[in-house]
Amino acid sequence: MAQTSSNPLLILGGGLIGLSLAHSLARKGHSVEVLSRRRNEAAGFVAAGMLAPHAEGLKGTLLKLGQASLTKIPNWVKTIEEDSGISCGLRECGVIVPFINNQDRDLYPTADLGQKLNQNELQKKIPGIASQWQAGLLFKQDGQIDNRRRLMRALEKACVELGVHFQEGIEVLNIIKQKDVFEGVNIQTAEGKTKRIVSHQAILCCGAWSNYLLNELPIYPVKGQMFSIQGPKDSLKSILFGPGIYLVPREDGLIVVGATSEKSAGFNEGLTPKGQSDLQAGLNSLLPMASQWPHMERWWGFRPCTPDESPILGGSSIKGLWLATGHHRNGVLLAAITSDLLAKEINQEVLTKQESNFLKVFNWQRFTL
């Protein structure tokens, strides 16, 4: 078996979380190498790009984590744009959550953090919304980023500009450890050659596939199907976040419609008639006039989910191996805080009380208690 021994900090996974970490660590002077099987299968390429901890109704420490990340995102994006020269499409467009009645609206977990809308106000904000929706919440502080077309490409270019090395088409076969100390990985290249990469530190951020390399992580895939439609420009100015369906409008009138949540699908690839019909029915129930707008793309992906639908962040049972995975449907929202927390922890920088608490709450060991 061939062996390389440059001792870079390895990023195991080339998705949004992996690229965010590679960028942050390279900016701090680390030699970084990203090992990726197929970056285009990463959840970062298929997500809708919502930045909506309030509209999603997050609770407890997960809400606080999302809020902390939301405050970091403008500067985080600015840095990526400066390093890459590519605009990421960040927009504080607001998110509207519709409800059948006022009672349901007022019982929403984050109702106190949004602006209450009656039916008349809701119809003014969302012209053409179905008549069944009689109340709403507007979360002005929430927004979106164009992850699929801009952010992922900007991060890739920013990393390259900072000297990050990429190995694409790489299958990480297993982690090498000695007495619970990380020593590297065995990989198989796209040409079928087996190699060993020696390293003292790595971050496991393989998303839904993380359990393959560290089976103590209770992570499983939740498949999501999506499609996009082309509406008239400014036909929808805010994100519309309904039960089981959401519409995310881009600046050019493209609207991302998502997403199914298929917990029993495993890693079965491809679109399904049921998934696509469920999305279409959801679209019709929210904004009937949009059913006449032309379809542009259809795609699917796999969210990395944990039993409590919260991420796993920080150290692992192996010294030198860090964890940044299990973000479920909030990977885009949490990328900024994840890369900041892990980069500080790896650099042994002083953490705030809140940052230390995040690493404590979202440690992998919570599943072993």
In the chain (369 residues long), the average pLDDT of successive 10-residue segments reads 65 95 97 87 78 97 98 98 97 97 97 98 97 97 94 96 95 95 95 94 96 95 95 93 95 93 93 96 96 94 95 97 96 97 97 98 92
Q: What phi and psi, each to the nearest 5 degrees, are found at residue 170?
A: -95, 130
> What does the DSSP 8-state code read for residue 345?
H
Determine the pLDDT at residue 282.
96
**Going from the N-terminus, what domains does the chain have, and what CATH number goes with each?**
2-86+148-219+308-367 (3.50.50.60), 95-142+220-305 (3.30.9.10)
pTM of the model: 0.95
Residue 58 CB: number of other CB atoms within 10 A?
Answer: 21
Sorted by sequence, the CB contacts under 8 Å of residue 141 that are 6+ apart come out as: 54, 70, 92, 94, 113
Determine the pLDDT at residue 4.
45
Sorted by sequence, the CB contacts under 8 Å of residue 172 that are 6+ apart come out as: 12, 35, 37, 185, 186, 187, 206, 213
